[in-house]
Amino acid sequence: MKVLGIETSCDESGIALYDSEKGLLADALYSQIEMHTEYGGVVPELASRDHIQRVLPLINQVLEQAGLQRSDIDAIAYTKGPGLIGALMVGASIGRSMAWALGIPAVGVHHMEGHLLAPMLEDNSPEFPFLALLVSGGHTQLVRVDGIGQYQLLGESIDDAAGEAFDKVASMLELGYPGGPKISMLAEKGTEGRFKFPRPMCDRPGLDFSFSGLKTFTLNTVAKCREAGQFDDQDRADVALAFEEAVVGTLAFKCRRALRETGLKQLVIAGGVSANKRLRVQLEAMAKKEGGSLRYARPEFCTDNGAMIAYAGCQRLLAGEAEELTVAPQPRWNMEELAAV
């Protein structure tokens, strides 16, 4: 089955073709980052308008890459939610209309399920059951995964998501948007041990996270440096390093606790923040020490992309899932409500 995947939940138009027998055939991405940079974050209305312009040319591009015609597509998977309503509407309307015109089924995919299953696109893919850490711009969740659609939420952030904290701290350091990769790069020049930031919620039981206090702590540190008369590039790098270490340390601490509590051995990380090098290295070492292993997707499939939507949609379509013709995006959507396949 050849599935066209359409991702338009935020600021990236991601399109891909996935074949249930041959694997990924083609994928293309248009990132709107440059357009949103001057505003310091995503402007929803601009995002929707840009998706309208990008999606059809990208579909033509992946078809050409794969040497296929529209008539070769067997089904369409589009991101149904969660995300920005206007942006979701674009992918849903195009996906649904195209499926109707071609006389093929279409299915709306949960964006976080897409992220969660992205490591399945790699060699040495994860095997059920496993523990998943979902870390994106909008979510920080620990999930027990027993199969596709069999998700048990074990813990999540009670305030900011990890990616959101990266973005806000990047803005404090005047690094621009999106912050994750920029903080990471700057942290490489940081002085080890100059600042020690707290590891939020690690002194309490449970598997929830909180990153808002860490953000305030960072803001106060920056303010103190400025009051002392200077905040130069080295200070910025030192703060970036301390912040990244604190986020990564906290995530690793909670993942280890979750592995021990569930008895699971395999840890999967997914979502934009899972592209973070320090996080990968630290979690890999931790998982090994616990007698387990770590799995993740290539960096471009950690952040938003069409391949993960095509893959997740394909699994649901193969299991016989089908939807009515209505276009009904869900900007807020709990992953535990999904049907098991």
CB of 193 to ligand KG4, least distance (A): 21
Q: Is 11 in the site for Zn ion (CB under 5 A)?
A: no
76 binds, among Zn ion, ligand KG4, none (CB under 5 to 8 A by kind): none
CB-CB neighbours of 78 under 10 Å? 31
126 binds, among ligand KG4, Zn ion, none (CB under 5 to 8 A by kind): none
Q: Is 250 in the site for ligand KG4 (CB under 6 A)?
A: no
Query: Can you tell me which of 105, 119, 155, 178 binds ligand KG4, judged by CB under 6 A?
Result: 178
The 8-class DSSP code of residue 339 comes to: P
* Pair type for strands 293-295 and 266-270: parallel
313 binds, among Zn ion, ligand KG4, none (CB under 5 to 8 A by kind): none
CA angle 189, 195, 198 (to 5 degrees): 120
CB of 203 to ligand KG4, least distance (A): 24
Q: Is 7 in the site for Zn ion (CB under 5 A)?
A: no
Task: Kindly list the distances between the CA atom of residue 136 and the CA atoms of 73, 81, 257, 272, 276, in Å, as whole numbers in the listed order.
Answer: 30, 14, 20, 5, 11
Q: Is 166 in the site for ligand KG4 (CB under 6 A)?
A: yes
Q: Is 303 in the site for ligand KG4 (CB under 6 A)?
A: yes
CA angle 109, 80, 8 (to 5 degrees): 100
Q: Is 306 in the site for ligand KG4 (CB under 6 A)?
A: no
Q: List all residues 6 or more positions away from 299 whose beta carbon is below 8 Å from its beta carbon.
A: 275
140 binds, among Zn ion, ligand KG4, none (CB under 5 to 8 A by kind): none
Which residue do the tokens 């399945």 mark? 120
Query: Can you tell me which of 95, 137, 149, 200 binds ligand KG4, judged by CB under 6 A?
Result: 137
Q: List all residues 6 or more positions away from 285 whose beta carbon is below 8 Å from its beta carbon.
A: none
167 binds, among ligand KG4, Zn ion, none (CB under 5 to 8 A by kind): ligand KG4
Query: Can you tell me which of 2, 14, 304, 308 binds Zn ion, judged by CB under 5 A?
Result: 304
Distance between CA 176 and CA 128 in Å, rounded?
38
The piece of 20-28, 99-107, 134-142, 244-252 that touches Zn ion (CB under 5 A) is: 134-142
Buried/exposed code over 158-191 (b: 16+ C-beta within 10 A; e: otherwise): ebbbbbbbbbbbbebbebebbbbbbbbebbeebe
Q: Is 136 in the site for Zn ion (CB under 5 A)?
A: yes
Q: How many CA atoms lie within 13 A of 34 on its CB side?
A: 3
315 binds, among ligand KG4, Zn ion, none (CB under 5 to 8 A by kind): none
Q: Give the residue among 307, 248, 296, 299 at the shortest CA–CA distance from 269.
A: 296
With CB under 5 A, what is the number of residues at the site for Zn ion?
A: 2
- Footprint of ligand KG4 (CB under 6 A): 10, 115, 136-138, 163-164, 166-167, 178-181, 184, 271-273, 275-276, 303-304
- Footprint of Zn ion (CB under 5 A): 136, 304
